[in-house]
Amino acid sequence: MAKLVTTRDVFLFIPNLIGYSRVILALASLGFMAYHPKACTWLYSISCLLDAFDGMAARRFNQSTRFGAILDMVTDRCTTSCLICFLSARYPSWSIFYQCLISLDLASHYMHMYAMLSSGVQSHKKVSKDRGWILSLYYTNSNVLFIVCAANELFFVALYLYSFPLKTPPHLGYYRGVPLSYVTFLGAFTFPLWLLKQVINVIQLVNAASILAERDVEERNKAIQDAESPKTK
């Protein structure tokens, strides 16, 4: 007879252990964020990079869990939100824009997760093509998901690094008064995919709202039919 799984076993599944390490690294990056950009960037980047490995481990060891999926999404949302909050302080004239980005990110992912789970789908990543080919491709193709998410984080990292004054003149010179460095090119290179991620967030929000409304319609119509059925007999 196979050994029954306990709550403790789920908490100690390999992908969840990777998730805990992501949280620790993200918290450590926050400690360096204000004064040590290099250490912060490395810690933050490693935390984000491990996001790809917990999913691989879940599939490899057959340890996919609802707890792991929620832990993964919550960690993603919290780490990104913390970095954007710091950017809001660094670029105060853009604070409203950053607040809107955080709101869109949190709202779209929360509604998507709730809508998918309330529909009986075990994973929020199982999006069918009838919900839109962009959203389906984003969630069902692991390569697309990784590239878009990585570019999104790297764009924010570029903005973070750019907020610190350069200690040495940039080797690439200036363009219209803007210092050129690897940070500038990192931001320019990842900007299109960052923009795509925001578009996907909007699509995800609208799609989730549609799913929830459809569920409301089904439940209300069923209640009306059930209430009227005795009268018709």
Q: Catalytic positions, please? A: 76
Looking at residues 5-33, what average pLDDT do you find? 95
Domains of the chain, each with CATH number or no CATH: 7-228 (1.20.120)
pLDDT at 177: 66
Higher-confidence position of 133 and 175: 133
The C-alpha atoms of residue 136 and residue 143 are separated, in whole angstroms, by: 13
- In tens, the pLDDT along 62-97 reads 898 889 988 999 999 999 999 999 999 999 999 999
- In tens, the pLDDT along 41-55 reads 999 999 999 988 988
Please state, in angstroms and as integers, the Cα–Cα distance from residue 126 to each residue in 15, 59, 103, following that order.
19, 14, 24
Looking at residues 135-153, what average pLDDT do you find? 92
122 contacts 68 by C-beta, under 8 angstroms: no
Name the average pLDDT for the chain. 89
